Amino acid sequence: MTVEVRLVGPEDTEIRQFDAEAADRLCRSTSIELLRALAREEPTSIREAARLVERDVRQVHDNLWKLGELGLVAFDRSGQSHRPYVTYERIELEIDL
């Protein structure tokens, strides 16, 4: 089973195919909360992202890294810390039954 994921940004849309496990990782409430915090608050570090979602830094680090492996989160490594960010405004899922 594959899930089509559209990452909708201000200028374009990127389409990706996820397997069921990757789609499950994306659809977890902790992942959605974290992605929203990145999009709305633009934290300057993983530690700040953890503070925004009121979770342990290590858990947020692991969650961000997994979302990064899926191509949903990128990291700016120009400073001392890794600044997580997203480049899209909306995620759309399409599931064929």
- CATH code for the domain in which residue 40 is found: 1.10.10.10
Q: Please, which pLDDT band fits residue 78 given cuts at 50, 70 and 90?
A: confident
pLDDT of residue 1: 80
Q: Which domain holds residue 41?
A: 2-95
Beta bridge partners of 7: 14, 91
User: Which uninterrupted H or E stretch holds 90?
Assistant: strand 90-95
In this predicted structure, the answer to whether residue 96 has a pLDDT above a threshold of 90 is no
Residue 81 reports pLDDT greater than 90? no
Q: pTM of this prediction? A: 0.91
- 86-89, long-range: CB within 8 Å, 24+ apart, which pairs? 86/35, 86/38, 86/39, 87/7, 87/9, 88/7, 88/8, 88/9, 88/14, 88/39, 89/8, 89/9, 89/10, 89/39
pLDDT computed for residue 83 by the predictor? 96
The whole-chain average pLDDT of the chain stands at 94
Domains of the chain: total: 1
pLDDT surpasses 90 at 45: yes
